[in-house]
Amino acid sequence: MSNRLPWLDKYLEGLNKDSLQHAFIIGGKEGVGKNNFSRTLSNFILCEQTLNKKACRKCQSCKLFLSLNHPDFHLVSLEDGKKKISINQIKELQSKFYESAFLGGNKVFLIESAEHMSNDAVDSVLKILEEPPNNTFFLITSHRLKQLPLTLQSRCSEIYIKSPTKKIIQEWLIDEGLNIDNVALALDLALGQPLKIKELLEANLEASRNQFIKDISILIKEGKNIISLSEEWSKDSLPFTLKLEWMSNLMMDAIRFQNTKEQKNLMKDTSNISMYLGERTNFNILYDLLISTNSLWSVFTDGTNLKSEYQLQKLFIDWESKLGLSVR
Does 325 have pLDDT greater than 60? no
Q: With bands split at pLDDT 50, 70 and 90, how would you rate the model's confidence at 264?
A: confident
Q: With bands split at pLDDT 50, 70 and 90, how would you rate the model's confidence at 191?
A: low
End-to-end CA distance of the chain: 53
Question: What DSSP letter does each residue of 276-288 carry, written as one string?
Answer: HHHHHB-HHHHHH
Does 320 have pLDDT greater than 90? no
Q: With bands split at pLDDT 50, 70 and 90, how would you rate the model's confidence at 180?
A: low
Cβ pair 77, 112 in contact under 8 A: yes
* pLDDT value of residue 328: 34
pTM: 0.72
Separation CA 194–CA 32 (nearest Å): 6
Strands (E), the chain: 23-28, 73-76, 107-111, 136-142, 157-161
Q: With bands split at pLDDT 50, 70 and 90, how would you rate the model's confidence at 283?
A: very high
* pLDDT value of residue 327: 35
Separation CA 106–CA 100 (nearest Å): 9
Separation CA 287–CA 281 (nearest Å): 10
Which positions ≥6 away from 220 have C-beta within 8 Å? Answer: 273, 276, 277, 319, 320, 323, 324
Does 276 have pLDDT greater than 50? yes
